[in-house]
Amino acid sequence: MGKLWIVGAGPGAVDLITVRGREVISRANAILYAGSLVSPQHLDFAPPGCETADSSSMTLDEMLQWLKERLGRLEHVVRLQTGDPSLYGALTELTTPLRRQGVEMEVIPGVSSAMASAAAAMESLTLPEVTQTVILTRTEGRTPMPEKEQLRHLAAHGATLCIFLSATLLEKVTWELYQAGWSQEQPVLVVHKATWPGEERIIRGRLADIAQSCREAGIGSQAMIITGPALNAAGRDDNPVSRLYADDFSHQFRTAG
């Protein structure tokens, strides 16, 4: 059997895939790509004769059958996913049955939309002495969440929240954060299609009005929600500074003056 490469395409921009991911595509014999989320421009780097298919309308069983058939006769088969395969990428569902059949596999990580959204808005997810923790999560919709991971419980920590797959549930997100004691004035950032050329949109607001702002902007999918105490730090003059770079802080590479 051939080898399966599961490649993270990154958040949107074609040049944000890793060098290794691009190299794997360049020698692929077949590529199954998530067409609703991954730019088809990635396929331009595939060799002539490479078989391609869009998995947007496929069930998991149909995807597995497509991959198995190609793995039975081709050397290099690629599953091209959005962002990073380990985050909301159905990685376990896809790999478990194939692993049981002895398929050789390798995962190539990708840039997550959480990091791409923070970069697009020039925001830091962490800030010294303010928050050193980032929670990657989603809110409950048709897919249930474990009770201990309800957004109101996670928000109680007061850390930075990167909320995936929840742009259509902003009212619920708002309600959950209120339940955790967050203020109506808490800044919220929503980035739609981060890094997608000509399609990226950045919406800033408060917890009290972010849902309305996104409705008015027509944002209902493919958006990252970020909020937390580090947000809008660039507009404040009293941010703590990392001790790592302080004059009186010694470490392996520098002696305090």
CATH code: domain of residue 60? 3.40.1010.10
Residues 123 and 215 in one domain: yes
Residues 154 and 119 in one domain: yes
- What are the backbone angles phi and psi of residue 187, rounded to the nearest 5°? -65, 145
Average the pLDDT over 102-127 and give the result: 97
What's the Cα-to-Cα distance from 68 to each of 108, 127, 226, rounded to whole Å?
A: 20, 46, 38
What is the per-residue pLDDT for 204? 97
In this predicted model, what pLDDT tens digit does every residue of 150-194 receive, in sequence order? 999 999 999 999 999 999 999 999 999 999 999 999 999 999 999
Residues 18 and 124 in one domain: no
The domain in which residue 68 lies consists of: 3-108
Contact by Cβ (8 Å): 75, 29: yes
What is the per-residue pLDDT for 255? 76
In a domain, 67, yes or no: yes
Instruction: Report the chain's mean pLDDT, rounded to a whole number.
Output: 93
Is residue 230 over pLDDT 90? yes
Q: What is the pTM of this model?
A: 0.91
pLDDT band for 142, please (50, 70, 90 cuts).
Answer: confident
Average the pLDDT over 59-66 and give the result: 97
What is the per-residue pLDDT for 257? 67
Residues 125 and 211 in one domain: yes
- Residue 188, helix vs strand vs coil: strand
Is residue 252 over pLDDT 70? no
Residues 11 and 51 in one domain: yes
Residues 104 and 119 in one domain: no
Contact by Cβ (8 Å): 52, 30: yes
The larger pLDDT score, comparing residue 130 to residue 143, is at: 130
In a domain, 225, yes or no: yes
Domain tally, the chain? 2
What is the per-residue pLDDT for 1? 87
What is the per-residue pLDDT for 159? 97
